[in-house]
Amino acid sequence: MALCAPARASVGVPVLPVPPLRLQRGFAPPGALCPVGSLIGGFVVGASCGRRPRRICKVARAGRTDLEVGAPPLQAAEDLPRIALTRFEQQQLLCGERVQRQEQHGREGRGVVVVDVVASPSTVLGCLGAFGDYASMIPVVQDVEVTFQDLMADGTRRSRCSFWISRFCLKVSAVLTVDPLAGIVSFDLDPEGSQMALSEASGVWRVEALPDAPGRTRVWLHSRLRACRLLPMFIVEYAAKRALKRATSWLKPHLEGQNHSLELQGCVAGSLHRI
């Protein structure tokens, strides 16, 4: 407990300068997710919205049969830029807190969030890649429609999804890619969808095992957002302060709650077997 005391004494999460991330159009370095739904949801709460949809969570059987347009470019895990955590940030993670760095320049912002969770990398990646289940996992996502999925020979999966965000039910369309071998989930706005508040939103989740902490996984989310010119600056500034927190605050409690449930099921099954 003494180790954690200094970190808990701080007020809020420090906003630290982000080193250059070599961002390019359609890609933001490492780290669905939140998936794009909750990341954008954190940004656009309070903005105009579309029509409230029916409760849906399905894979459409009709429509486009390819994802050549709008699919975010995928980089190898070893090519993603690494960020050295400070001693204070490492202490925050040990205490179960999240680390956040972000910067904003006018209507454009980018940020990094790091969080350690008590779950295996495969469990974390499975959660981040379960796009159709986002509405049951992420509070800001109200509904999801998976309109297309494509599984490649190397195991990479690409999906086109529509998310209805927050109580305003703003519709956001995105293209998402899961690379299980690299431990990466990337996302980008779907250029064919109608985006009302953002001209750009992209990012990558990266999942990595912690060799010194068996049973724990480190999750990185790097993201980039650019608001459209029609959105008032006071809304941009208000939302930018909350986007990353909303995009990641669901992950740790959901995964650790799920992991605890699995452990209980295992204990019950073992007890019944012994009986």
Give me the pLDDT at residue 40, please: 54
- Per the DSSP assignment, residues forming a β-bridge with 184 are 179, 206
Phi first, then psi: give them for residue 145, nearest 5 degrees: -130, 120
Domain residue extents for the chain: 26-274
Give me the pLDDT at residue 132, please: 92
Give me the pLDDT at residue 37, please: 54
Residues 6+ apart with CB under 8 A from 192: 69, 70, 173
| pLDDT digit string (tens) for the chain, length 275 residues | 444 444 443 434 343 443 333 333 333 333 333 445 555 555 544 343 334 343 333 343 333 333 333 334 444 444 556 788 999 999 999 999 999 998 888 888 888 999 999 999 999 999 999 999 999 998 888 899 999 999 999 999 999 999 888 766 778 889 999 999 999 999 988 877 755 667 777 889 999 999 888 889 999 998 888 777 777 777 777 676 777 787 788 899 998 887 655 554 444 445 445 55
- Per the DSSP assignment, residues forming a β-bridge with 108 are 105, 226
Residues 6+ apart with CB under 8 A from 82: none
Q: Is the separation of the CB atoms in 192 and 183 below 8 Å?
A: no
Residue 174 Rama label (left phi>0; alpha psi -120 to 50; beta): beta
Task: Output the CA–CA distances (angstroms, integers) from residue 231 to 44, 47, 68, 222, in the order listed.
Answer: 10, 8, 30, 23
Other Cβ atoms closer than 10 A to 250:
19
Give me the pLDDT at residue 184, please: 94
Residues 6+ apart with CB under 8 A from 22: 29, 81
Residue 205, classed as helix, strand or coil, is strand
Given the candidates 3.30.530.20, 3.40.309.10, 3.40.50.720, 3.40.50.2000, the CATH classification of the domain at 26-274 is: 3.30.530.20
90-97 long-range Cβ contacts below 8 angstroms, 24+ apart? 91/3, 91/4, 91/6, 91/7, 92/7, 93/218, 94/3, 94/4, 95/3, 95/4, 95/7, 95/8, 96/252, 97/7, 97/13
